Amino acid sequence: MPKRRRVADPEVEEERGDLQMDASLTITRSDIWFRDGNIVLQTEGTQFKVHQGFLEKHSSVKGDSTVEGCHVVQIYDAPEDIELLLLALYDQRYRKQGRVPFKTVSAMIRMGKKYDIRHLRDEGAQRLASQFPSTLEAFEKTSLETWTSIVPEVGLLFKIIALAHQCHIPTILPAAYFRALTNIDALLFGDLLSDGTGRSETVSDGVLRSCISGNDKIMKDWENTFQWIDPEDGFCCTGEKREVSESMWDGKPRIYRSLCTWASLMKEFGDLNWLCDRCIALSEERFETGRKATWEKLPSYFGLPDWKDMEDFAL
């Protein structure tokens, strides 16, 4: 009597396939490998030997297999992200230097958010907020041309905007969008690569539409902010005002002036110093009123919620 052919169990076959795949996977030991570590994190063939006690407040997952007598926990993040996360956790000097690479800030926020390491997530977000604050007072202390908390790189602004959308950090978007408007060429086509061979990636179509729409709305309010410089608006210092107005309108209005300080405006347009004391005082008062109104409306220009209604990491 012929033997009955055994039918394979699909689940068993799948497990065998996984084992074969794992067996053929080349394992790389990372530089983060503590001799006294008691747990191994493995992702995409890269292993990290760390301390369970150090990590257990963030995760209670334990693995079934072992390496050097340590439980192995399989995770599914890019090895670079896990390395940056562990470096930030183990070595505070690594993240407390003046400026850190964007990839470090990104990993702190994304991995901190995913694994509920809030102090790390918030620290990364604070680096973004220091560059793109949500108050006018803090914004006055920033620069639209330099980076103080993140190492500059090609396309950095657009990477930050994408990260803010990915991790839901809306409070930095108004100031980030405003900065993007100071270089329309880069906004439309991307930053020029340092070797001149091409351009970086730019923003998504949705962000681009929001920025262009915001630019139009800000420029419509330009007249309110700078009405004080109109030579026909009043009967004093008309000649001096005309000189400033012609200089300010030479070419296209520079959008950054909508939120610059009165001191920087005085420095840029020396002719303002020729106004009489009364005109200077009135002009500064009207400029400040317009500037504050522009800041309050900044989120709405880009189709974002009001400042008071925005909350980071709400999703």
One pLDDT digit (tens) per residue for the chain, 315 residues: 444 444 444 433 333 334 344 555 788 999 999 999 988 999 999 999 999 888 876 654 455 566 667 888 899 999 999 999 999 888 877 667 789 999 999 999 999 999 889 989 999 999 999 999 999 999 999 999 899 999 999 999 999 999 999 999 999 999 999 999 999 999 999 988 877 778 888 899 999 999 999 999 999 888 788 888 877 776 688 888 888 888 877 766 789 999 999 999 999 888 888 889 998 999 899 999 999 999 999 999 999 999 999 999 986
Residue 84 forms part of a structural domain:
no
User: Last residue of some domain: 196, 217, 238?
Assistant: 217
Query: For tokens 């907020």, what's the residue?
Result: 129
pLDDT at 10: 41
pLDDT at 91: 83
Residues 158 and 124 in one domain: yes
Residues 30 and 44 in one domain: yes
Residue 262 forms part of a structural domain:
yes
Residue 70: exposure state from Cβ atoms within 10 A (0-12, 13-18, ≥19): middle
Q: Do the beta carbons of residue 201 and residue 155 sit within 8 Å?
A: yes
pLDDT at 5: 40
* 96: its two tokens: 């407390």
Helix ranges (H only) for 60-117 are 79-90, 92-95, 102-114
Residues 129 and 188 in one domain: yes
pLDDT at 64: 56
User: Last residue of some domain: 11, 46, 76?
Assistant: 76
Residue 311 forms part of a structural domain:
no
Helix ranges (H only) for the chain are 10-24, 52-55, 79-90, 92-95, 102-114, 118-131, 136-139, 156-167, 173-180, 184-189, 205-220, 222-225, 238-248, 262-268, 277-301
Cα angle 298-225-251, degrees, rounded to a multiple of 5: 95
Among 252, 292, 286, 248, smallest CA distance to 270 is for 248
- Strands 66-67 and 46-50: what pairing? unpaired
Residues 169 and 155 in one domain: yes
User: With a threshold of 0.75, does the pTM exceed it?
Assistant: yes
Residues 196 and 240 in one domain: no
Structural domain that includes position 71: 22-76
Residue 182 forms part of a structural domain:
yes
Residues 125 and 212 in one domain: yes
- What's the total number of domains in the chain? 3
Residues 243 and 204 in one domain: no
Collapsed DSSP state (helix, strand, coil) of residue 71:
strand
Residues 206 and 232 in one domain: no
pLDDT at 66: 63
User: Last residue of some domain: 217, 242, 259?
Assistant: 217
